Structure 1
Amino acid sequence: MKNRILKPLGLLACTWPLLWGGLASAADESAGAADTEQAMARFQSTYIWQKKSNFSAAYSGPNSLIPRSERSYTLTFDGYFGFRPWQNAELYFVPEITQGLPLSNLTGLGGFTSGEATRVSGTNPTLYRQKLFLRQTWNQGGGQQRVDADVDQLAGFVDRDRVVLTAGNFSTLDIFDDNLYAKDPRSQFLNWSGMSHLAYDYAADARGFGWGAALEWYTGDWVLRAGRMTGPTTPNGLPTDLRIFKHYGDQVEVEHAHTLAGQPGKVRVLAWRSRALLSSYAEALAYGQANPNASKEWISAVRNGDKTKYGLGLNVEQAVNDRSGVFLRAMKGDGKTETYAFAEADASFSTGYSTRGTAWSRDQDTLGLMYARNMLSADRRKYLAAGGISFFIGDGALRYRPETLFEVYYNMKVSKGLWVSLDYQRIANPAYNADRGPVNVGSVRLHAEF
């Protein structure tokens, strides 16, 4: 296992300087040629190494986090290619190469320790299409504002009041549930609890992407978003169900920008629903009790009809000063059906603080602190306590407690386009079980953009 973890790091160390040197200069020349980019080619690579310590466990089941010490890694390499096919339109294509070895085969937690873990499919490098989408903007006035160059964004100008349509293959999280301080596991918090609401069971394939469309209306300090996306053919599977009028994930989000004590902030309210071939926990538990000798994955035996699940969440970001800010997310789902495409959680709460290192003369560095508390519904708790197994968790029994997390990271800029991060996570009641844990996880992250 040690070689499987260290070889990708060696490959990364050898290839980064070559790619970075040549491609970064080309990208810089392209970006600097005009205020509005007509085309772009950008790249990123992220390597995350994690080590989990031994922890106590009164018992373990088929989908438990392994109690002994473990090491894991993920390595991703993405190309971001875009151009403007006509006025106010942008077309993007993103291929990705991934490889990795997740902790405990990606089981045993509600909030997993790395947001990159779902992208990898084994220790052999795999190339696949991550995104292919069109963005069309209809400007409506209100004055112009600058759009900075980014991995999924051509530099240019847009009207403050505008309508934007995004359609194609992308992630729901590219459009919805944004947060300045907690969003990207490649540069911010690693845990899933810092990527989004953990209880947001948004439609996506096993890697987090799908097909669909989203419409955004920007007017003054308000933004209204609505979208529909495809999900997997089976819960948390990779093949995508393209019957978007039969099985889908819908979301509507309202965002308002404000100023509080002279500092900017935003409030977002997100409502969602997913419809798919799913099983309810009540039906799965009844099946298990009637068939005591059957496999413990009772949810798979009772997927006999389409079901709808839904939730409502609040997302707040607020600057404290020009270098620091706080955030908060809270969401409640209905909790009656199995997980469709994201995490094993029916309610979630996270809050934290982020600051640049200006106070210690490291303005390009970032320090972040987060606390998260994730919960299960009564129906899901009964199912797990009876010995049932779901996609990510199943200890064979359950003494329920909310799964809680403390995470701290320090992201240090080493040079242009290159960052190194140290991260520590302490997770109490892994998979919502007070008979197991707590778990300590340390991480090192290398991230390059060029």
Structure 2
Amino acid sequence: MIVSIARASRAFLLISTLLLLLVLPSAAQKDNNNNYLDSSKNWSLHYQFTTIVQGHTGFQGAGYSGRNTLSDLPDTTLSVTTTLFIGRKLWNGGSLFLNPEIAGGRGVGRRDPTDPYNETLYNPAVGIAGFPNGETFRIGSSKPGLYVARLYVEQVFALPDAQPENIDSEANKVNQQRPDSRVVITAGKFSIADIFDNNAFSHDPRTQFMNWSLMSYGAWDYPANTRGYTWGLAVEYVRPAYELRVAYNLMPKTANGNVLDWNIAQSGGLTVELESRYRLLKRPGTVRFLAFRNVTKAPTYTDAIQKLVDGDNDPQRPYISNGERYGGVKYGFGLSLEQPLAQNSGLFARASWNDGKTATWAFTEIDQSVSAGAFIAGSRWGRPEDAVGVAGVINGLSTTHAAFLNAGGIGFMLGDGKLPNYRPEHILEVFYKARVTRTLFITGDYQFVANPGYNGDRGPVNLFGIRTHVEF
């Protein structure tokens, strides 16, 4: 697999070089007065490379298992992502962004007990709803794949009383002045988590907490394909004291599928968020309220249970993951809080809920989630670019979702064959991130998961990880 990753990385660098060769000539055009018609400041070029080696020790099994049971044998995995962030200022307020990306490797999961070292029998990224590695996806193959993660246009309109503010060049941001009161329209392919629930201390698994239920609302079944991206339209109304945003995005055709459903009349995800700022202890804080409503082919858990009882469920094409007709509705809410304590340090908390009646279709199998934690920069001990983080999460299921799993149902991440002893998942994550060089960060991470997959007969699980992150 390492050889495959190396080959894919070389291909990625070749593509990146070709893009740069196309970019730089246009950036160097001059008029007859030797002034730059199109200076390089209109471009934004950034890069990231992240690897996570993660594993768990052996733990107490339940005596029964299913297709999505986390193996109780010790396991070690590797994930790799590398991304090129290309941004181009088009005109006043308009920008274009392109992110080619390579991802490979896998997360911890299920090994066949009869042949635990046969990789072809491995089922990756299953068994824990609050999955411990936010850089892994539910892709069956561990081979690296090259794809376009983002390709979108952003247009900013200044409101009448707007004041300019400077924006530095960074990933998917071009160095320019931006009005503090504005309307922003984003159209194309992007991650909806780029725009919504943008918590400053718990949002990015490449630099902050790695657990899925800490990088976003656990119960938000947000529109995305398997890798976390989707096509859509988002509109933001931004004022210095508050922000309002709304988006409509494509949902996958099947549960956690990579193919998006373009039948926008019958399938799609509507998301609304209100963000407000306040002052506490002489420091500005932020509170966000999110609501969502998804319409897909997702069936209800009640119908899926009946299919199991009747024996009318094709294991090769499970009803719970494919559905039969449009009209499945899932809705929910989220509340997020962030309170800075010092520069680059602060506290955060989230609570989220969905109705739990309709099958999870995009993110992960969580119907209720509460989390809280702290992110502390290393200024106090003379290393301002270092950081330590500690957070706790409690994830839960609806009554019908738990009943489906207990009836032998298999979702896209959970399924132990039965669930006679349902218990909420309890997760603790602690990490230390150290800046080694100007562009290199290394993180040591520990996660403790009690009741993995909501199974009180299984676990607890101790997971250890080393994350390497390069950005420039």
TM-score when scaled to structure 1? 0.91
2:286 alignment partner, one of 253, 266, 275: 266
Asked if 1:329 corresponds to 2:350, the answer is yes
Look up the match of 1:439.
461
Q: Is the 8 A contact 1:222 1:254 kept in 2?
A: yes
1:370 alignment partner, one of 387, 391, 398: 391
Look up the match of 1:412.
434
Q: Is the 8 A contact 1:98 1:121 kept in 2?
A: no
- Equivalent residue of 1:85, what SS? strand
- Work out the CA distance in 1 between the residues paired with 2:323 and 2:148: 33
Tell me the amino acid that sits aligned with residue 118 of structure 1.
Answer: F
- Work out the CA distance in 1 between the residues paired with 2:467 and 2:87: 27
Give the superposition deviation at 1:320. Answer: 1.9
Look up the match of 2:190.
170
Structure 1 residues 179 and 291: alpha-carbon distance in aligned structure 2, compared to 1, 3 A threshold = same
Structure 1 residues 119 and 187: alpha-carbon distance in aligned structure 2, compared to 1, 3 A threshold = farther
Q: Is the 8 A contact 2:243 2:276 kept in 1?
A: yes
Look up the match of 1:46.
50
- Work out the CA distance in 2 between the residues paired with 1:388 and 1:406: 28
Structure 1 residues 85 and 127: alpha-carbon distance in aligned structure 2, compared to 1, 3 A threshold = same
Asked if 1:196 corresponds to 2:216, the answer is yes
Look up the match of 2:158.
139
Look up the match of 2:425.
403
Structure 1 residues 294 and 163: alpha-carbon distance in aligned structure 2, compared to 1, 3 A threshold = closer
- Equivalent residue of 2:183, what SS? strand
Asked if 1:67 corresponds to 2:72, the answer is yes
- Equivalent residue of 2:91, what SS? coil
Tell me the amino acid that sits aligned with residue 420 of structure 1.
Answer: I
Encode CA deviations 1:235-286: one digit per residue, 9 max, x unaligned.
Answer: 1100111122320000010000111110111000000010001110001111
Encode CA deviations 1:331-372: one digit per residue, 9 max, x unaligned.
Answer: 110000111100001111111001011121111101010100
Encode CA deviations 1:314-344: one digit per residue, 9 max, x unaligned.
Answer: 0000012335210001011000011110000
Look up the match of 1:309.
330
- Equivalent residue of 1:84, what SS? strand
Q: Is the 8 A contact 1:5 1:73 kept in 2?
A: no
- Work out the CA distance in 2 between the residues paired with 1:445 and 1:220: 36
Q: Is the 8 A contact 1:133 1:166 kept in 2?
A: yes
- Equivalent residue of 1:173, what SS? helix
Give the superposition deviation at 1:122. Answer: 3.0
1:243 alignment partner, one of 263, 275, 280: 263
Q: Is the 8 A contact 2:167 2:175 kept in 1?
A: yes
Look up the match of 2:102.
97
- Work out the CA distance in 2 between the residues paired with 1:53 and 1:419: 25
Structure 1 residues 293 and 163: alpha-carbon distance in aligned structure 2, compared to 1, 3 A threshold = closer
- Equivalent residue of 1:117, what SS? coil
- Equivalent residue of 2:320, what SS? helix
Tell me the amino acid that sits aligned with residue 97 of structure 1.
Answer: I
Give the superposition deviation at 1:303. Answer: 3.2
Tell me the amino acid that sits aligned with residue 44 of structure 2.
Answer: M
Q: Is the 8 A contact 1:298 1:388 kept in 2?
A: no
The RMSD of aligned alpha carbons is 2.6
Structure 1 residues 304 and 241: alpha-carbon distance in aligned structure 2, compared to 1, 3 A threshold = closer
Task: Give matches, 1:24-35, under 5 Å.
Answer: none
- Work out the CA distance in 2 between the residues paired with 1:255 and 1:248: 23
Look up the match of 1:86.
91
Asked if 1:116 corresponds to 2:135, the answer is yes
Give the superposition deviation at 1:290. Answer: 2.0
Look up the match of 2:32.
none
Encode CA deviations 1:121-150: one digit per residue, 9 max, x unaligned.
Answer: 633331111110000000123322122222
Structure 1 residues 119 and 394: alpha-carbon distance in aligned structure 2, compared to 1, 3 A threshold = closer
Q: Is the 8 A contact 1:136 1:164 kept in 2?
A: yes
Tell me the amino acid that sits aligned with residue 268 of structure 1.
Answer: R
Encode CA deviations 1:172-222: one digit per residue, 9 max, x unaligned.
Answer: 101111100000000000110111011100111111111111000012301
Look up the match of 2:175.
155
Look up the match of 2:144.
125
Encode CA deviations 1:56-106: one digit per residue, 9 max, x unaligned.
Answer: 112211111111011111111111111112111000111011211221111
Q: Percent identity?
A: 37
- Equivalent residue of 2:184, what SS? strand
1:421 alignment partner, one of 443, 455, 465: 443
Structure 1 residues 50 and 300: alpha-carbon distance in aligned structure 2, compared to 1, 3 A threshold = closer
- Work out the CA distance in 1 between the residues paired with 2:273 and 2:313: 45
- Work out the CA distance in 2 between the residues paired with 1:287 and 1:300: 13
Q: Is the 8 A contact 2:4 2:143 kept in 1?
A: no
Q: Is the 8 A contact 2:44 2:175 kept in 1?
A: no
Structure 1 residues 303 and 348: alpha-carbon distance in aligned structure 2, compared to 1, 3 A threshold = farther
Q: Is the 8 A contact 1:288 1:294 kept in 2?
A: no
- Work out the CA distance in 2 between the residues paired with 1:433 and 1:413: 38
1:343 alignment partner, one of 350, 364, 370: 364
Q: Is the 8 A contact 2:94 2:156 kept in 1?
A: yes
Q: Is the 8 A contact 1:100 1:120 kept in 2?
A: no
Structure 1 residues 119 and 323: alpha-carbon distance in aligned structure 2, compared to 1, 3 A threshold = same
Asked if 1:353 corresponds to 2:357, the answer is no
2:233 alignment partner, one of 179, 201, 213: 213
- Work out the CA distance in 2 between the residues paired with 1:6 and 1:70: 21
